[in-house]
Amino acid sequence: MGHCTTAILFALSVLSFASAHSTLIQHGKEFVYDYKALVKAGTIIPAAYASEFYLHGKLHLQHGYPSLFAQLSDLKYKVHNGEDHYGHEHEAVEFPLPKEAEDLLMPFKIVYHKNGQVKQIVTEKHQKIYARNMHKAIAAMLQMNVEKVNLDSDKAHAFMTDEYSIYGKTVAAYNVLPKTDRLVVQKMHEMKSTRPIYQSMIISTSPSYCEAHYEEPMSHDSHQYYVIVKQDGYHIVKHMESTGGIYIYPFQAKSEAEYVLINVTLNLVDIVPVQKAFQITSEHVDEDLTYQLIDPSVEDVPDIMNGRRTVDKKQYIPVLEKNDE
């Protein structure tokens, strides 16, 4: 059960506000994408082992001026743990989403600024933290600077701009590449430091001053790939892919190398009339997309289980200390 509620750091598409928004997501239409996601955590040295989690389903998008409604459906998952080799996703057995993870299927709303960047995310008030975090990650990728991306230009262009993700403010580098029958938009995110990833720490002693200088043991990358075509006078996002990773080389790279990789692909499978508009019955509004590790309704400690279990610091610290002896 724990595997299927892993928060996926990345997912997919577009966008935004005003004429650009209504061009990409047409009013009165529901865009249905085939949704595939991979979360992989593992080691490289001294041996290649990994825990892998696959999620497969559909993502539905509906226009809601000046916002976008989104909802996941038909989710199934696979898991693998052991020696790393190519093709795990074809060998693993697929399971339906259990009832404990059904908060992932709740609809959510993304409100945009005029330039296409996320202004707010609105979720169900009673939604569990792990699901809200996943929806924030999706919202972080459902943005594109439509003021600078020229959808009808036949000339390649590039620019850099500030965007917000689950780790806060980042710099996004855009490459816009017109092709004969499509427009390709590439986007790469850069953080000046990975310090925002260190959101919290469990420690049983008071921190003390250390004379050793700070060492950055992490690196991070994130990039997205969009394919946009013109169909019946409308710009349609046919394919989207988002890939990112966090790489850890502690103790001046003298310890084992560890990583977390994420890949999400979206392929448009259908455009249908809206039969039932998505609605949120009790709204919870977040003004930013920052990943939440602490549940304010319980003890003020990191929620390492993403809302699935309360962390008891008094219970865990002695156990960890005993195992470390």
pLDDT surpassing 80 at residue 88: no
Q: Contact, 38 vs 92, CB < 8 A?
A: no
pLDDT at 295: 55
- Mean pLDDT, residues 85-105: 84
Cα 155 off chain centre by? 31
- The CATH number corresponding to 2-324 among 2.60.40.2550, 2.60.40.10, 1.10.10.10, 2.30.230.10 equals 2.30.230.10
- Mean pLDDT, residues 83-90: 74
Q: Contact, 242 vs 141, CB < 8 A?
A: yes
pLDDT surpassing 70 at residue 61: yes
The domain spans of the chain are 2-324
Structure tokens at 170: 């980042």
Q: Which residues make beta-bridge pairs with 183?
A: 178, 228
| 110/120 Cα distance (integer angstroms) | 6
- Least Cα distance to 220 among 252, 188, 251 occurs for 188
Which is more confident, 92 or 262?
A: 262
Model confidence over 14-24: pLDDT tens digits? 332 333 443 47
Residue type, 105: L
| 142/105 Cα distance (integer angstroms) | 17
Cα 154 off chain centre by? 31
| 17/161 Cα distance (integer angstroms) | 18
| 276/100 Cα distance (integer angstroms) | 25
Q: Is beta strand 234-248 parallel, antiparallel or unpaired with respect to 218-231?
A: antiparallel
**What residues contact 286, with CB distance under 8 A and at least 6 apart?**
120, 121, 122, 123, 132, 136
**What residues contact 41, with CB distance under 8 A and at least 6 apart?**
50, 51, 258, 259, 260, 261
- Least Cα distance to 221 among 187, 198, 188 occurs for 188
Which is more confident, 64 or 23?
A: 64
Q: How confident is the model at residue 46 (pLDDT cuts 50, 70, 90)?
A: confident
Name the range with the highest mean pLDDT among 21-25, 91-95, 189-193, 315-319: 91-95
Which is more confident, 199 or 253?
A: 253
Which is more confident, 216 or 176?
A: 176
